Copies of this chain bind each other. A is one copy, B any other.
Amino acid sequence: MIFDALRQQVKNQTDESLLHLISILPDHAPQLKAAMQHALLVGGKRMRPLLVNLVGNTLDVPTSDQLTISMAIECVHAYSLVHDDLPAMDDDELRRGQPTCHIAFNEATAILAGDALQTLAFTILADHPMSEFGHAQRARLVSLLAKAAGYLGMCGGQAIDLDSTGKNVSLSRLTELHQLKTGALLCSCVEMITLVSPEVSIKDRAQFIEFARLIGLAFQIQDDILDVEGDAGQLGKSTGSDIAQGKMTFPALLGMDNAKKELAQLHERALQALDSLPYNTEYLVAFTDLMVKRNY
């Protein structure tokens, strides 16, 4: 299968699985249920499930384990977007060209939908079908996802982001911010899927995780560049929002040329990390190019 077809297949499968997940919930709180569905299904690119799938296929991890891990990660990702968009946070009314959750519903429902989606992520890791090997790792998967999502990861990074807005921050602090805010969850995709592979060596696992760390940071630098140079129509959101919100970015801190050099260097190092692995990483190379060269 060519890469683009695989990518579309993963997106479709993820969308269908998430829709099914919500549809089987009972109807005692219909508005909350609808808000959870809205948050999960409003046009995500499903980059994280794709990464889980590509690494999982490379290591012959069964589809059930791939899907369980992907769905849990997408629930955490979706919840974080709902809460980040709230008026008290980034106060965004549009995401992917659609009304954000608190606009489509109301603020209280959006807070609850985020809360319930975070819980759902852990329900999935605890309960959804997995191979015998994967099943034995459930508690460690919960540990990895919780570490990536909480104070030591995403929530901590968002707190640093709030605290840094309107201030000068150092390159190391900006890097820490993004490694926690977005990098940790991306790394957890690879940490989790490699954990449920009986075959991967400790050394190769570390190399896969280093690869994820590099593309996570590259992704963020590209995000910052697109906020300056991108096309609002293609992005599905307005550009210039970082500057408008007083957020420090890599181009603002390093200058645009140096930010692009940094991005190219991370891209190169990510490809080297793949190259050192004893697997066919053709699709992971394509994924890396997609992450770094995307214009949306």
Q: Which residues of A contact B (CB under 8 A)?
A: 25-26, 28-29, 31-33, 36, 79, 83, 86, 88-89, 106-109, 111-112, 114-116, 118-120, 122-123, 125-127, 135, 138-140, 142-143, 145-147, 149-152, 155-156, 158-160, 162-163, 176, 180
Q: Which of B89, B111, B127, B147 contacts A83 (CB 8 A)?
A: B111
Residues of B within 8 A of A143 (CB): 123, 126-127
Question: In the complex where A31-B159, A163-B31 touch, is A142 in contact with B119 (Cβ < 8 A)?
Answer: no
- Whether the pair A142, B138 counts as a contact (CB closer than 8 A) is yes
- Whether the pair A116, B28 counts as a contact (CB closer than 8 A) is no
Distance of A32 Cα from B152 Cα, bound (Å): 11
Residues of B within 8 A of A36 (CB): 151
Distance of A155 Cα from B163 Cα, bound (Å): 29
- Whether the pair B115, A89 counts as a contact (CB closer than 8 A) is no
Q: A26-B152, A86-B111, A119-B151 are in contact. List 9 more A-B contacts (CB 8 A).
A: A25-B152, A29-B159, A79-B115, A112-B162, A115-B150, A115-B155, A123-B146, A126-B146, A138-B139
- Whether the pair B25, A155 counts as a contact (CB closer than 8 A) is no
Most buried by B among A163, A176, A180: A163
Q: Which of B31, B79, B159 contacts A112 (CB 8 A)?
A: B159
State the Cβ distance, A192 to closest chain B Cβ, in Å: 13
Interface of A is mostly: helix
State the Cβ distance, A182 to closest chain B Cβ, in Å: 15
- Whether the pair B89, A111 counts as a contact (CB closer than 8 A) is yes
State the Cβ distance, A132 to closest chain B Cβ, in Å: 13
Residues of B within 8 A of A120 (CB): 146, 150-151
- Whether the pair B118, A159 counts as a contact (CB closer than 8 A) is no
- Whether the pair A122, B146 counts as a contact (CB closer than 8 A) is yes
